[in-house]
Structures are given as structure tokens and as C-alpha cells.
Structure 1
Amino acid sequence: MDAAEIISRAAGYLNPTERGDRTSGGVATALLTKDGTLFYGVCIDTISGMGFCAEHAAAAAMLTAGQSEVAMVVAVTRDDDGLSVLPPCGRCREFLYQIDDRNLDAQVVLGPDTVATLADLLPERQARPVPST
């Protein structure tokens, strides 16, 4: 799957909804696993800070299905200028890394012609402690 296709797949899940001071669906993510399965998620924004990013929702679906290794991920939104690709926030970058160390090799789509690895986006990450035996 290339960047354009995964962007298009994610865009199909955009469904901005407002309920009072809460919003959801304004950002959608498509997450492709190493075995070729696609998982999707949308953001949920609440005033109390209890919401979460679209990447978290897609990762939760992936983990629920018993998988953890990401091949490619993208987040998209739509505004007056059209469809835009969003880079994952720092929390989402770290979250994907902490789910599975192998995700450092995941391709993160930053635009139709721009892809970086998660490792590229986490250059100063801390080494994870090794459990004592």
C-alpha cells in the first residue's frame, strides 16, 4: 500500500460531529499492520482532557485483534482547504513505540509524497530499561 492509498482509506472515516462542547471524528487514522490488516480510528475531543487521538483508537483496535506491529500509519483531517495529512503528535509517536519496539521501523505518512520512519520522528528517545533476570 502506498501513501496515497492509505490517505484515501483514512479519509473515508472522517465524520466530524459536535455534541455541545465535545467533538469527534474530525481526525481519522488508518493503521496498516505488518500482515496487511488495516485498522481505523477517530479522535474524541472533550473539555476535560479525557479524549484521545485517532492513532490511539486505531492502535487499540489493532491490539484488541491481537496484533502490535505497525507497517504504516497516517492521520488526516479536512478543512476549508480540503484534505490534509497531520503528523502524529509526540504522545502518539511515543505510544506507538511503547506498544512494540519494532514499530520504530513503521512508515509514518506525512504527506502524499512524504514518508518517514517512526525512528526518524523519535531521534532522541530514551533507551528502555532491560528487566533484571
Structure 2
Amino acid sequence: MIVQSNDSLIDAAAAVLRPHRVGDRVFGDVASALVTDTGSVYVGVCVDTTSGTGFCAEDAAIAAMVTAGEYKIARIVAVCQADDHGALHVVPPCGRCREFIRQIDPANLDTEVILGRHRTSTLRELLPENDWPVSLD
């Protein structure tokens, strides 16, 4: 497997940031990059809609991965420019995205989630109590 550094995945995500405002909504202001267990890199951006039918950047990157026939995520990151000065910020996956990553493949509990240039955590650590459903017997 080709190892992607935190910085290289952060840069890959940042490269597709292209915020576009429509009314009070902004599309593409959060971007994600992931690398699979085979070394392939996929990117995606968020689409925020007023009707609630939008999706997170991680979802878009994962959809590109699944479209290509891959399911195991080795590492993933999401970034945004959270201020007017263009400073880049790493965004941890929301609860829905954490569960989505888990459901794509059981091995993804060991996905390394990038939380900063020098900080990571496994999905398993971010998604406690992930072994369900548990029988009451």
C-alpha cells in the first residue's frame, strides 16, 4: 500500500475547495480526501441544501471510492476554510459520517481519521460502542 502523509491528504482535500454561494447556502466549502487500502485517493466536497437533501464531503469522497469498486478506507480527512483569512482547518467527521464510514466495510473501524497535521485517531476510537446490534440473551 502507498502511504499518504497527513499533509498530502490535507493538500488533496484543500485542492478541491471551491466554495460557491447560492442565497444563504454554500456548496463546496468543506472538502474531503481519502486513501484506500490499495493506495487510491478519492476526493469530494459537501453540498449543503435548504431542503436537507445535501451531503457531507466525506460522503462524496466515499461515493467516488465505491463507484470505482473500492470499500476499505485506510485514511480520511476533511478540511474547510473557516475564516475570512483563508486559514485551513481540519474538520472531524460528524456522527453520521462516522457511522457511514463504518457501514461501508467492517474493516473501516480501523480507518485512520486525520484530526490535524500531527494528530490522528482510528474510527473505532471515535465511534465507541460500535458492535451492534447486541443480543439481549
Task: Report the TM range for the smaller structure's normalisation.
Answer: over 0.9
- Consecutive unaligned residues of structure 2, counting only runs of 5 or more, are none
Q: Does 1:21 align with 2:24?
A: yes
Q: What's the TM-score, normalizing by structure 1?
A: 0.92
If each structure's strand is expressed as a fraction of its own residues, which one has the higher value? 1
Note if 1:59 corresponds to 2:62.
yes
- 2:67 aligned with 1:45, yes or no? no
Residues in 2 aligned to 1:40 and 1:9: alpha-carbon distance in whole angstroms: 7
Q: 1:80 is matched with which residue: 84, 91, 102?
A: 84
Give the aligned partner of residue 94 of structure 1.
Answer: 99
- 1:59 counterpart letter in structure 2: I
Partner of 1:8: 11
The alignment's TM-score, normalised by the length of structure 2, stands at 0.90
Identity %, equivalent residues: 52
Q: CA RMSD in A?
A: 1.5
* CA shift for structure 1 position 114: 0.5
Deviation at 1:91, TM superposition (A): 0.2
Tell me, in whole angstroms, the C-alpha distance in 1 between the residues paired with 2:76 and 2:106: 15
- Tell me which residue corresponds to 1:117: 122
* Structure 1 runs of 4+ with >6 Å offset: none
Give unpaired runs (5+ residues) of structure 1: none
